[in-house]
């Protein structure tokens, strides 16, 4: 569904992604792992059109998407749940969700989608008029996910959804990711937490120094000595 080929991204003279190639098959959850500064977030920002690539290609459903602006990427169906949640703090929960559908004009269907998001996250329905900035971390993560869903993505990019959440809530997040996938969403998950990645993803890629250094099934990650050595330095 999403094929990234020989992708290169630079910030000025610093090359962040050297030559990245991997695929996200339709209907699957793929994890992208790596240490700090390995280029994971840059990878997602490039896929969502916020950062421009300097070479390579991004094929989404067979169509070239490299170089498209962010709003066009959203229209094609690639939507990001940004790192650190990044909800709009001074807006109400409902306004956050509605603005997730910034690229849409089909008002009636948007109303219906809003109700479905509330059905999926009943906690949000209870606080729909509260300022999003006043919610807990877990609730803000629900807002961030719901907001992305309002754009009707076909491929969801999630940037460290478990970061900064209490361990008990991380379990809920795993359930949420699996539930989204069961509804047919293709998910590219960037994680620092190998446990989360192994619990939800089928395959995993490790990004190191701007290149993919390991690709394989996600289930074996936790026991793979080579991976742990290269990635965690153990």
Partner 1 sequence: MALFGRRNVLVAMLLFAAVAPTFLNAYYLFVANTILIYVLLAIGLNILVGYAGQLAFANAAMFGIGAYGTGLLQVHFGWPFWLAFPLGALIATMVGLAISLPALRLSGLYLALSTLAFAQFTQWVFLNWEPVTFGAGGFKTPPISFAPLPISKTLGLYYLSLILVMVLFALAQNLVRSRIGRAFVAVRDGEIAAESLGVDLLRYKALAFGISGFYAGIAGGLYSAMLNFVSPEGFDLFQMVIHKAMIIVGGLGSIVGSVLGAGTLVFVLEALRKVKGVQEIAFGAILVGFILFMPGGIIGYLKEKVRGWEEPLHRARASRRPPVAATSESSEVRP
Q: Which stretch binds partner 1 (CB under 8 A): 4-12, 15-23, 43-51, 167-175?
A: 43-51
Cβ proximity of 7 and 58 under 8 Å: yes
| Nearest residue to 48 (alpha-carbon basis) of 190, 209, 174 | 190
> In the complex with partner 1, which residue's Cβ is closer, 185 or 206?
185
Residue 31 in the binding site for partner 1 (CB under 8 A): no
- Is residue 131 close enough to count as binding partner 1 by CB under 8 A? no
Would you say 24 or 206 has its CB closer to partner 1? 24
Binding status of residue 86 toward partner 1 by CB under 8 A: yes
Residue from 12, 167, 183, 234 touching partner 1 (CB under 8 A): that is 183
CA distances from 88 to 8, 37, 67, 191, 205 (A): 31, 26, 26, 23, 31
Q: In which residue are the tokens 């991204």 written? A: 9
Question: Minimum CB separation from partner 1 for residue 4, in Å?
Answer: 17
State which of residues 11, 52, 99, 134 lies at the interface with partner 1 (CB under 8 A).
99
Of 188, 189, 125, nearest to 155 by C-alpha is 188
Q: Tell me how far, at minimum, the Cβ of 68 lies from partner 1, in Å.
A: 11
Residue 184 touching partner 1 (CB under 8 A)? yes
Rounded Cα gap, residues 230 and 234, in angstroms: 7
Under rule CB under 8 A, residue 89 binds partner 1:
yes
Give the residue with the Cβ less far from partner 1, 54 or 230: 54
Q: Is 128 in the site for partner 1 (CB under 8 A)?
A: no
Is 226 among the residues that bind partner 1 (CB under 8 A)?
no
| Contact footprint for partner 1 (CB under 8 A) | 45, 48-50, 69-71, 73-75, 77, 79-80, 82, 86-92, 95, 98-100, 102-103, 108-109, 111-113, 115-117, 120, 146-154, 183-185
């Amino acid at each position: 569904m999403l094929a990234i080929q020989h992708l290169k991204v630079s910030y000025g003279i610093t090359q962040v992604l050297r030559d990245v190639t991997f695929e996200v098959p339709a209907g699957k959850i793929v994890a992208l792992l790596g240490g700090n500064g390995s280029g994971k977030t840059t990878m997602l920002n490039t896929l969502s059109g916020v950062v421009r690539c300097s070479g390579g290609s991004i094929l989404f459903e067979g169509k070239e998407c490299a170089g498209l602006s962010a709003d066009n990427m959203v229209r094609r169906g690639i939507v990001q749940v940004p790192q650190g949640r990044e909800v709009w703090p001074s807006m109400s929960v409902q306004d956050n969700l509605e603005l997730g559908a910034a690229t849409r004009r089909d008002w009636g269907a948007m109303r219906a989608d809003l109700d479905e998001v509330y059905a999926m996250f009943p906690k949000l329905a209870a606080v729909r008029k509260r300022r999003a900035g006043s919610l807990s971390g877990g609730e803000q993560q629900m807002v961030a996910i719901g907001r992305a869903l309002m754009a009707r993505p076909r491929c969801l990019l999630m940037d460290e959804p478990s970061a900064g959440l209490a361990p008990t809530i991380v379990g809920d997040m795993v359930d949420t990711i699996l539930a989204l996938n069961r509804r047919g969403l293709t998910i590219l998950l960037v994680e620092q937490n190998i446990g989360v990645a192994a619990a939800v993803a089928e395959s995993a890629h490790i990004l190191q120094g701007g290149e993919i250094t390991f690709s394989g099934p996600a289930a074996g990650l936790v026991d793979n000595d080579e991976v742990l050595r290269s990635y965690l330095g153990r």
